[in-house]
Amino acid sequence: MMILNKKIGVFIIGIILLGCLLFFFLPKEEKVVVVYVAHDQDYSEPILKKFENLTGIKVKALYDTEATKTVGLVNRLIAEKNNPQADVFWNNEMIRSILLKEKGILQPYCSPNAKDIPSFFKDEDCYWTGFAARARVIIYNIQKINESEAPSSIYDFINPKWKGKACIANPILGSTSTHIASLFALLGKEKAKEFLLKMKANEVQIVESNSMVRDQVVAGECWFGLTDTDDAWDAILAGKPIKMVFPDQDGMGTLVFPNTVMLIKNAPHAENGKKLIDFLLSNWVEEELARKALQIPLKKDVKLPENVPKVEEIRMMNVSFQKIYENLNESTQFIHNIFLT
């Protein structure tokens, strides 16, 4: 009886192992496109499913996580340069798209759907194309700060009145690093460094992510903070006691940055990749992202929900993305040495 039980046990384990092996090593599908997605999965996944249903092309998506936001996928693309696995990269900002272009990871593709996207938001050589933008905004807790004295500029982060009351996300990753680099590009290196040193002296708290900034402001741990429009609107729509401000509308302007999509050089399924890019640059996708994720459409004839502004209504920072990219390394090194001790 014991021998029989042992044999049955070994048989069951063998079946489970075989099942796992088959599960992992099933034959690959031919009609497929592989996309690395830095954009939030809850919003991007339904869009990719729609593409699957329309075209019959199976989408294999790899999503980023909060811990490694964007950079995990960028690292992976760089590491895979000599043998790319991805066909398309859907990035949620543009600076690392420029980085990938500089490193020769991308190949140009001029999508017909990109024609009505403003040239400011796309690469002139068609290496990457922007769509569905976000803006860097200040959110403040209305239980802590009256509307009359609400912060409206990034210079409020160095105002001694708000010492220890403000927070920003990790300044060496994600959109915050892009924002810091844009200050280097716009203000010049010396003035930007001076501003950041004053920020540190004013005890601005560094939290893990933009969503954490939102959470901290909602909780009242920070009275105000710098985050992205989609994070801010999540809290506003949930009825939390915060308000949002586009900073420096009377001054330097607000940083508005798009999602970007690009074709990977020597992509295994380049033609399917191009179809996916065309789809992502369609009006429907911008409308969908505006409706569900409150992203700001870049195309003019896209229907806007009520609470989403037109991109023309926002006074944007007058600095090119290329210049922001050129300042990224130095600004990040500076921040790294000053804030992360």
Contact positions toward other proteins, by CB under 8 A? 16-17, 19-21, 23-25, 28, 34-36, 40-42, 58-69, 71-72, 74-76, 78-80, 82-83, 85-86, 170, 172-173, 177, 205-209, 211-212, 214-221, 234-235, 238, 240, 329, 332-333, 336-337, 340-341
- Using alpha carbons, select from 141, 143, 133 the residue that is nearest to residue 316: 133
C-beta separation of 279 from 285 below 8 A: yes
- Degrees (nearest 5) of the Cα angle 15, 19, 23? 175
Kindly tell me which of 44 and 113 has the beta carbon lying closer to other proteins: 44
State the minimum distance, in angstroms, from the CB of residue 39 to other proteins. Answer: 11
C-beta separation of 261 from 281 below 8 A: yes
State the minimum distance, in angstroms, from the CB of residue 184 to other proteins. Answer: 15
Provide CB contacts within 8 A for 339, sequence distance 6+: 171, 196, 200, 206
Kindly tell me which of 39 and 274 has the beta carbon lying closer to other proteins: 39
Kindly tell me which of 155 and 241 has the beta carbon lying closer to other proteins: 241
State the minimum distance, in angstroms, from the CB of residue 53 to other proteins. Answer: 16
Could you tell me where the beta strands, DSSP code E, fall in the chain?
32-37, 58-63, 88-91, 106-107, 129-141, 166-169, 205-207, 224-228, 242-245, 256-264
Residue 257, Cβ density class (10 Å: 0-12 exposed, 13-18 middle, ≥19 buried): buried
State the minimum distance, in angstroms, from the CB of residue 215 to other proteins. Answer: 4
Kindly tell me which of 81 and 315 has the beta carbon lying closer to other proteins: 81
**Phi and psi torsions of 81, nearest 5°:** -50, -45
State the minimum distance, in angstroms, from the CB of residue 296 to other proteins. Answer: 18
State the minimum distance, in angstroms, from the CB of residue 61 to other proteins. Answer: 6
Kindly tell me which of 37 and 252 has the beta carbon lying closer to other proteins: 37
Kindly tell me which of 133 and 235 has the beta carbon lying closer to other proteins: 235
- Degrees (nearest 5) of the Cα angle 39, 42, 44? 45
Rg of the chain on CA atoms, in Å: 23
State the minimum distance, in angstroms, from the CB of residue 120 to other proteins. Answer: 26
Determine the Cα–Cα distance for residues 202 and 78; give it in Å rounded to an integer: 38
Kindly tell me which of 83 and 119 has the beta carbon lying closer to other proteins: 83
Give the HSE-up count for residue 268: Cα atoms under 13 Å, Cβ half-sphere: 16
